């Protein structure tokens, strides 16, 4: 796997025209294009064909499904029918996806959003032992794998512990990546591309630091270079 294939670009824009422009600009430097809630809610499933036509080879549908098991299974089957390579969900129970054939779509369990810190977990009512994001991430990673996921989404700060717990085969996908001098925006648990790769991330997710760069393709190439060196 080349470093480029491990870079996921979050296509966080509302219009098809802007999404297509970014894919055309980045298709040679980015392995996976992530369609999240903003683009999917605005444009619906038809946007996936638009991105493929613009040059996206692999698409990650980031819908963060969270519902009762029957609804999760049904929605995951519909997403798989769209031919996406990855799909996110929140897994609160074991065996949710047991026996569900999703073809080539790999499920990723979101563990603890990278925008959350210990103070947020305390406010949400987690007991002191689970207010340490690493502990909560490990707990939820176990649930996700038990639910039938191929891997998890966590921050690079927990990636080493998650990799150790889940073994070499699991996908460990890390958003909250901030290269160089980029600001944190609304992210709280951030690391650099090199730190995430060294910690054992299989993929990193980068949105604004590429999208808002003066030269997005150059920003992506710099990140890939940093990943390759790491």
Ligand X SMILES: O=C(O)c1cc(=O)[nH]c(=O)n1[C@@H]1O[C@H](COP(=O)(O)O)[C@@H](O)[C@H]1O
Residue positions in the annotated binding site? Answer: 12, 34, 62-71, 114, 178, 187, 207-208
Q: How far is CA 123 from CA 36, 48, 119, 126, 199, in A?
A: 26, 37, 6, 8, 29
Interface with ligand X includes 156 (CB under 6 A)?
no
Chain centre distance of CA 201: 11
Closest CA to 38 of 10, 7, 59, 65: 10
Q: At what angle do helices 16-26 and 216-229 cross, to 10 degrees?
A: 50
Q: Annotated catalytic, 62?
A: yes
Which residue, chain included where needed, has tokens 């802007």?
18
**Choices 15-23, 110-118, 122-130, 134-142 (CB under 6 A): range interacting with ligand X:** 110-118
Count of Cβ atoms closer than 10 Å to residue 167 Cβ? 8
188 is catalytic: no
Q: How far apart are CA 184 and CA 171, in angstroms?
A: 24
In the complex, the smallest distance separating the C-beta of residue 49 from ligand X, rounded to whole angstroms, is: 21
CB of 212 vs ligand X, minimal distance in Å: 8
Q: Could you say which of 43, 105, 114, 202 contacts ligand X (CB under 6 A)?
A: 114
Judged by CB under 6 A, how many residues of this single chain contact ligand X? 18
Nearest to 7 by CA among 216, 209, 225, 203: 203
86 binds ligand X (CB under 6 A): no
Q: Is 132 a catalytic residue?
A: no
Catalytic annotation, pick one of 5, 27, 64, 92: 64
Is 207 a binder of ligand X (CB under 6 A)? Answer: yes
Kindly state the tokens that stand for 200: 């054992």
Among 10, 32, 159, 172, interactor with ligand X by CB under 6 A = 10
Measured CA to CA in angstroms, residue 48 lies from 17, 77, 186, 225 at distances of: 13, 16, 27, 28
Nearer to ligand X, 101 or 119 (CB): 119
Binding site listing for substrate: 12, 34, 62-71, 114, 178, 187, 207-208
Which residues belong to the active site? 62, 64, 67
Residues at the contact surface with ligand X, assessed by CB under 6 A: 10, 12, 36, 62, 88, 110, 113-114, 153, 175-176, 185, 187, 205-209
């Amino acid at each position: 796997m080349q470093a480029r294939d491990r870079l996921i670009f979050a296509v966080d824009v509302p219009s098809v025209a802007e999404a297509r422009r970014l894919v055309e600009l980045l298709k040679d430097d980015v392995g996976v294009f992530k369609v999240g809630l903003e683009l999917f809610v605005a444009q619906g499933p038809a946007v996936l064909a638009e991105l493929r036509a613009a040059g996206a080879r692999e698409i990650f549908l980031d819908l963060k499904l969270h519902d009762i098991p029957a609804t999760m299974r049904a929605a995951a089957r519909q997403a798989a029918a769209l031919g996406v390579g990855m799909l996110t969900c929140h897994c609160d129970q074991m065996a949710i996806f047991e026996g569900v054939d999703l073809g080539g779509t790999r499920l990723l369990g979101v563990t603890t959003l990278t925008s959350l810190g210990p103070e947020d977990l305390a406010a949400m009512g987690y007991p002191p032992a689970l207010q340490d994001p690493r502990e909560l991430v490990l707990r939820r990673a176990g649930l996700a794998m038990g639910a039938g996921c191929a891997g998890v989404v966590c921050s690079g700060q927990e990636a080493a512990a998650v990799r150790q717990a889940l073994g070499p085969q699991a996908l460990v996908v890390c958003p909250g990546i901030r290269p160089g001098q980029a600001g944190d925006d609304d992210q709280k648990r951030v690391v650099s591309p090199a730190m995430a790769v060294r910690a054992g991330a299989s993929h990193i997710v980068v949105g604004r630091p590429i999208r808002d760069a003066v030269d997005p393709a150059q920003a992506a190439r710099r990140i890939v270079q940093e990943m390759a060196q790491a």
